[in-house]
Amino acid sequence: MTIEFETPYGKISEKLISKMRNEILKLSHQVKNVARAEVMLKEDATIVLSENKVCSIKLTIFGDNLVAHARSQTFNKAAREAIKDLERKIKQHTESIDEVTTTIEV
């Protein structure tokens, strides 16, 4: 699995990146087919100045994409919220896969 971090803001601590990498690896063990993770940590001053730190995570699972966004006062809080949202989406994704059945007549 490939994990890419994009931080145009530039002042992201290595500790936060390492922690996020470990959390994403834990998520990838829940879903075996994760091929790629893209993480974007940026500042967005256009909407709310007090909550201008944004974390976006996109997981690619064999053609399906799961995306989570979070906005908070700090990058740490935004990252935690995005990972929690992604955990919820992964559970929904795995449950929907289990429910899909097909019948083929030969």
The 10s digit of each residue's pLDDT in 51-95 is 888 999 999 988 789 999 999 988 999 999 999 999 998 888 777
pLDDT of residue 105: 67
Domains of the chain, earliest start first? 2-99 (3.30.160.100)
Q: What is the pTM (predicted TM-score) of this model? A: 0.81
pLDDT of residue 98: 55
Is the distance from CB of 92 to CB of 74 less than 8 angstroms? no
Angle at 72 between CA 55 and CA 42, to 5 degrees: 35
Q: What residue spans of 31-106 are helical by DSSP H?
A: 75-99
